Structure 1
């Protein structure tokens, strides 16, 4: 499984989360404490928001701990909203197109988890995408496809509902294939203004998710695991949760798959 961290608040240098803390995201790339596998060396990526509507992005296939460019960029880039990810592949080649975060217009998305029966249902899900969204597919991962399904289900105007409907489509496809979906979904995504996250699983365990607030500045973090247990005040987010974070608040709502009306599905 992967590790990720997302930040929303007053602008900070990316290094304050990605590289500098004792258990920074780079540290988690070679020694995660709460992941199924301790090493997350199958590439990395960062997406950050600045003066433009769409995010900047840097991704590579190197392990995060061995990329000097990442460390240099994190020392120089200052942002009030960014997503960072280190990858442990559960399927799909190690190439840039399969590295998170994925981006579409103003949206950025990253994921920790998997669709266990993905090889059995991938074609059915891909074929259900509208042409304009299908054209945005560049990689081969279940994570990117979940993001595209969310876009197809109305992410622009209903983030919570789009995520719930996308999950419902995955479960429906698994049911039609007579397969166990074995779905694990702990994801973060943003439109450049708000930060969203979901923690859900069809299994007994969902990948971890924590929310933290800095004591000494206006800023909020959503992370796979705490990067500094003596820094922000961390709270574990329970499974079956959807988070909406703004500059002023964090709201936690329940999350369950929600089938879309027939006319809203792309076929």
Structure 2
């Protein structure tokens, strides 16, 4: 996914086809789950295509669930603490998009973060604040509801400041067992998000592809842009929808901010 397939994530960092920015060279990050209590995290302000440590890491880390993100900075500084994914305990969180009018409503959003969580905010990005809002609103107990409440809070504060479309983007979060992926924007025109079709179906359609024999039956990829060169391997997630991916179960459900 990172290096070898056609239009891999590294290729997308240089030549994005569907993103708002063609080049995403303002840093990157990977997060992964293994036997440790908390997920691993490696973030850098280097362009992903130019970081030898990332290539070394990718060749040695094995994980049943991982996040990868390439960044094009929008408004916040190019610094390591602003690179995705973000981590709290067992949770990872990343976002492709932005909060419009963030500077005007940042104080309102930050003051809504639970007092016990506030000291953990290390960077200046809108995504990190959104993550801690979601944690404040119950991410660890009810991820879809917490994200709905966090985005709803952002929209209410943004519109109160005269911003017509406060939220844009796709986001993903996980506790290491389940992945939740969301596609939503206030304008109803979200950034792209795709997921792989059933692996067993793809094996029947492409019996000669060795990569499909190497992955388990319940393997899933959720990506901003399709990777690889298998026509029909990807489905686009509908607007205002979220996916729940866990062993033996996939769901697509409607998403609406609260």
| Cross-structure match for 1:100 | 84
Aligned equivalent of 2:94, options 82, 91, 110: 110
| Cross-structure match for 1:5 | none
Q: Is the 8 A contact 1:210 1:222 kept in 2?
A: yes
5+ residue gaps, structure 2: 203-211
| Cross-structure match for 1:230 | 230
Q: Is the 8 A contact 2:24 2:70 kept in 1?
A: yes
Q: Is the 8 A contact 1:121 1:174 kept in 2?
A: yes
| Cross-structure match for 1:43 | 27
Structure 2: distance between partners of 1:46 and 1:26? 12
2:173 aligned with 1:189: yes
Q: Is the 8 A contact 2:93 2:131 kept in 1?
A: yes
2:123 aligned with 1:139: yes
Aligned equivalent of 2:162, options 169, 173, 178: 178
**Post-superposition offset of 1:87:** 0.2
Task: Spell out, residue by residue over 1:31-53, the C-alpha distance to the aligned partner (whole angstroms, 9 max, x if none).
Answer: 01111211000000000000023
Matches within 5 A, 1:8-47: 17-47=1-31
Q: Is the 8 A contact 1:42 1:88 kept in 2?
A: yes
Task: Spell out, residue by residue over 1:207-257, the C-alpha distance to the aligned partner (whole angstroms, 9 max, x if none).
Answer: 000011444232101000111131882100011001110121210110001
Aligned equivalent of 2:110, options 116, 126, 134: 126
**Post-superposition offset of 1:135:** 1.1
Give the structure with the larger strand fraction: 1
Structure 2: distance between partners of 1:178 and 1:234? 38
| Cross-structure match for 2:208 | none
Structure 1: distance between partners of 2:235 and 2:118? 37
SS at match of 2:120: coil
2:133 aligned with 1:149: yes
Q: Is the 8 A contact 2:6 2:229 kept in 1?
A: no
Task: Spell out, residue by residue over 1:58-116, the C-alpha distance to the aligned partner (whole angstroms, 9 max, x if none).
Answer: 00000000001101110111111000000011121000000000000000011000011
Q: Is the 8 A contact 1:117 1:179 kept in 2?
A: yes
How many residues in Structure 1 have an aligned counterpart in Structure 2? 242
Structure 1: distance between partners of 2:10 and 2:231? 17
Matches within 5 A, 1:155-170: 155-170=139-154
Structure 2: distance between partners of 1:78 and 1:185? 29
| Cross-structure match for 1:246 | 246
Structure 1: distance between partners of 2:245 and 2:229? 21
Structure 1: distance between partners of 2:170 and 2:194? 11
Deviating runs (4+, > 3 A) in structure 1?
Answer: none
5+ residue gaps, structure 1: 1-16, 259-267
